[in-house]
């Protein structure tokens, strides 16, 4: 009886530890916003900045400063279908309904792919 009770507690403990919360249709990738999540937005006419601020605020976060001499905060660079749009302020002029995928790429990965000036990462947008 005692062994059965211990086994039951162990099984319950292990199953509780394995429970995770995942975002819809992203496979648990917190750096990806898919069309399904975009379509579920409460206001499809909102701009991308407002949507991302609610859905994945870490995309918009400053990543420190560029250097001791240049104390301007480092932020992500925005790309639409592979073309650079500019800094994250450009997200305010893009409608949520015009994109189908939003991905955040870390600073080191963005620097490897696009070169210098991407220490804050990149936000990659794919349009319809």
Which domains does the chain possess?
2-127 (2.170.130)
For tokens 């804050």, name the residue.
Answer: 120
Choice between 68 and 57, residue whose per-residue pLDDT is larger: 57
Cα separation, 29 vs 124, whole angstroms: 15
**What is the reported pTM?**
0.73
Nearest to 104 by CA among 66, 48, 64: 48
pLDDT at position 28 is 74
What pLDDT score was predicted for residue 41? 93
Higher per-residue pLDDT: 91 or 45: 91
């Amino acid at each position: 009886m005692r062994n059965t009770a211990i086994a039951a507690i162990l099984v319950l403990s292990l199953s509780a530890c394995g429970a995770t919360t995942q975002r819809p249709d992203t496979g648990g990738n917190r750096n990806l916003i898919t069309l399904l999540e975009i379509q579920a937005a409460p206001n499809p006419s909102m701009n991308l900045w407002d949507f991302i601020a609610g859905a994945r605020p870490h995309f918009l976060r400053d990543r420190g400063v560029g250097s001791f001499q240049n104390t301007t905060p480092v932020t992500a660079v925005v790309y639409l279908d592979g073309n650079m749009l500019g800094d994250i302020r450009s997200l305010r002029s893009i409608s949520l309904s015009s994109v189908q995928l939003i991905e955040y790429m870390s600073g080191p990965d963005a620097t490897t792919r696009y070169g210098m000036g991407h220490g804050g990462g990149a936000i990659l947008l794919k349009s319809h």
